[in-house]
């Protein structure tokens, strides 16, 4: 659907700068911002942020994207209460991630698939400071 709108001059300039930064047209940027705004009003605790992997749905007042919470949910075999305890969050925040992921499974599953496709070599190419973490094993006596 085509919708035309009037923006104050300064807002239009900011929209154009945002579009340029992301390689979008102003029309694409406007459509994305409207969609994100609608999702924010429809889903509690959801926000959107620019990340090295692009704009992502994140949990408000945290550093985690929804897909990262879903990765924990899978690791805890769907036990949202265990994830909430792990994160020291109220259960409602984990439930918010679950509801968002249910509504937009393709978006979340694509990011999860991309994440799982990365190995240490690929990470080092993207993030040169990456080092492999290996916990020290206690010495046996």
Residues 6+ apart with CB under 8 A from 26: 12, 15, 16, 19
In a domain, residue 58? The reply is no
In a domain, residue 107? The reply is yes
> Could you tell me the pLDDT band of residue 122, with boundaries at 50, 70 and 90?
confident
DSSP assignment letter at 48: E
Domain count, the chain: 1
| Chain-centroid distance, C-alpha 121 | 23
Q: Give me the domain span that covers residue 102.
A: 65-126
Please state the φ and ψ torsions of residue 55, each to the nearest 5 degrees. -75, 135
Give exposure, 48-70, as e/b (b: 16+ Cβ within 10 Å).
beeeeeeebbbbeeeebbbbbbb
In a domain, residue 88? The reply is yes
Q: What is the pLDDT of residue 140?
A: 73
> Could you tell me the pLDDT band of residue 135, with boundaries at 50, 70 and 90?
low
In a domain, residue 15? The reply is no
> Could you tell me the pLDDT band of residue 69, with boundaries at 50, 70 and 90?
very high
In a domain, residue 115? The reply is yes
Q: Do 73 and 80 contact (CB within 8 A), yes or no?
A: yes
Instruction: Collapse the DSSP code of 129 into the 3-class scheme (helix H, G, I; strand E, B; otherwise coil) and give the result.
Output: coil
Summarised one tens digit per residue, pLDDT across range 3-43 is: 888 999 999 999 999 999 999 999 999 999 999 999 999 99
Q: What is the pLDDT of residue 136?
A: 64
Q: Do 44 and 57 contact (CB within 8 A), yes or no?
A: no
In whole angstroms, give the CA distance from residue 92 to residue 110: 24
Instruction: Collapse the DSSP code of 58 into the 3-class scheme (helix H, G, I; strand E, B; otherwise coil) and give the result.
Output: strand
């Amino acid at each position: 659907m085509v919708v035309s709108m009037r923006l104050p001059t300064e807002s239009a300039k900011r929209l154009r700068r945002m579009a340029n930064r992301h390689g979008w047209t102003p029309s694409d940027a406007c459509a994305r911002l409207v969609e994100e705004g609608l999702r924010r009003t429809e889903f509690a605790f959801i926000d959107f942020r620019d990340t090295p992997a692009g704009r992502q749905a994140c949990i408000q007042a945290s550093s985690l994207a929804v897909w990262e919470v879903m990765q924990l949910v899978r690791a805890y075999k769907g036990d949202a209460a265990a994830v909430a305890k792990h994160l020291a969050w109220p259960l409602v925040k984990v439930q918010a991630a679950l509801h968002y992921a249910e509504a937009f499974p393709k978006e979340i599953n694509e990011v999860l698939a991309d994440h799982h496709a990365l190995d240490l070599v690929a990470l080092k190419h993207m993030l040169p400071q990456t080092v492999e973490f290996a916990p020290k094993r206690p010495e046996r006596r």
